[in-house]
Amino acid sequence: MTFKARDLRQNTPEWAQWRGEAGVVSASQAAVLMGVGYQTLNQLYRERMGINPSEPENHFMRWGREHEDDARMALEDVLETAFLLPLCVEHGEHPLLRASLDGWDGAHPCEIKCPSDSVFADVLALGTDSEGYRRYFPQVQFQMLVTGAQAAFLFFWRPDDQKLFRVERDDDYLAQLLDRALDFSRRLLEADEPPVDPSQDVYRPTGGEVAEWTRLTEAYKAKSALADAAKADVARHEAEMEALKAQMVKLKGNFARASFNGVDITSSTSMRLDTKRLRAELPDDFLRKYEKPSESVRITVRADNPASATAIDSAAA
């Protein structure tokens, strides 16, 4: 199969436009397609359709981008090749399947990763069983799908160490990846949102549920605002009570109890279990026998969408 190379420089506006064209599926999205990415398929769809914003570049991503040239030169030394060409490519039969190669030696795609110290240590310790390798395996396979290559290189680089994997083409895996990539491309073109995963995706009310959720959330935010104001008063009163208590304890001296003017004070000493130390000294298997699952529910009122003054007045009434 012959792929098509595009004359594009990576990390430029033209490159971003090429990657963001309607229906495009890129190699970096392969992990999500295969269920091992940091997003669900629904989250990726909503990001690609512009419904949800893309995640901003973080410190680790920026560090990796800034050191990619250093890593590429190191890989050229390891492979004993004069030059690895960064290349933007499209599948010969399915041009909406695309990849931005960190390097191309004429026969093999090269994917470069500049991970954090902890991720790199995991890669060194566990090799192909590491989370880093497993997450990037689909991306490298996708690059072979687009280029038709029989093998690819996955290179992890740190300034003081490096690890190279030669990844062989897996045609059975690629058959599944191709099906999923084409289906996702179709969904993007037809605005066919993938099903949500209740364990990972965010619940979004629709239809008649919207009015009920609006009523409940506005009421909750109003009560939360009142509770926050009350908590501030409680905290102030409790701090003043602690100061008064300290004075009374000092006045009663070494008496275990004091009682005056309707206020009783009792001092006692009790033993408390040091659970942190206990966990450190007992094996996990022993402690696990006495653990039981529990469900917690946390509700957070975001500062960018507080309760209205009308709602607060109504809640206080």
Q: Is residue 138 in some structural domain?
A: yes
User: 308 to each of 111, 212, 299, 311, 312, how far by Cα in Å?
Assistant: 51, 17, 18, 5, 6
Strands 87-90 and 4-6: antiparallel
Q: Are 146 and 98 in contact (CB under 8 A)?
A: yes
**Both structure tokens of 217:** 């959330």
9 vs 267, residue with greater confidence: 9
pLDDT score, position 270: 73
| Same structural domain, 106 and 186 | yes
Residues 103 and 30 in one domain: yes
- Report the C-alpha gap between 79 and 272 in whole angstroms: 61
Name beta bridge partners: 5. 89
Question: Same structural domain for residues 113 and 245?
Answer: no
Q: Give the CATH number of the domain where residue 65 resides.
A: 3.90.320.10
Look at residue 266 and tell me if it is in a domain.
Answer: no
pLDDT in tens, 43-66: 999 999 999 988 888 888 899 889
Q: What is the pLDDT, as a whole number, of residue 278?
A: 80
Same-domain check for residues 59 and 126: yes
Domain match, 128 and 222 both:
no
One domain, residues 185 and 217: no
Domain count, the chain: 2
Please indicate, yes or no, whether residues 107 and 228 belong to a single structural domain of this protein.
Answer: no
Question: Which residue range is the domain that position 247 belongs to?
Answer: 205-254+305-317
For residue 273, being part of any structural domain is answered with: no
Is residue 295 situated within a structural domain?
no
pTM value? 0.73
Task: Encode pLDDT of 160-177 as tens digits.
Answer: 999 999 999 999 999 999
Q: Are residues 10 and 128 in the same domain?
A: yes
Three-state SS at 277: helix
Question: Is there a single domain that holds both residue 38 and residue 156?
Answer: yes
CA angle 89, 92, 97 (to 5 degrees): 60
249 with 156, same domain: the answer is no
Instruction: Report yes or no on 173 lying in a domain.
Output: yes
Residue 302 confidence (pLDDT):
64
Is 33 within a domain?
yes
Give the pLDDT confidence of 230-289 residue by residue, as tens digits.
999 999 999 999 999 899 988 988 888 888 888 898 888 777 778 788 888 888 777 777
- Percent of the chain residues past pLDDT 70, beyond the cut: 93
Q: Per-residue pLDDT averaged across 193-204, rounded? A: 93
Judge whether residue 121 has pLDDT over 90: yes
For residue 299, pLDDT over 50 is answered with: no
Residue 293 falls inside a structural domain: no
Which of 159, 190, 221 is at the close of a domain?
A: 190
Which of 90, 142, 148, 82 has the alpha carbon at shortest distance from 111?
142
180 and 212 within one domain: no
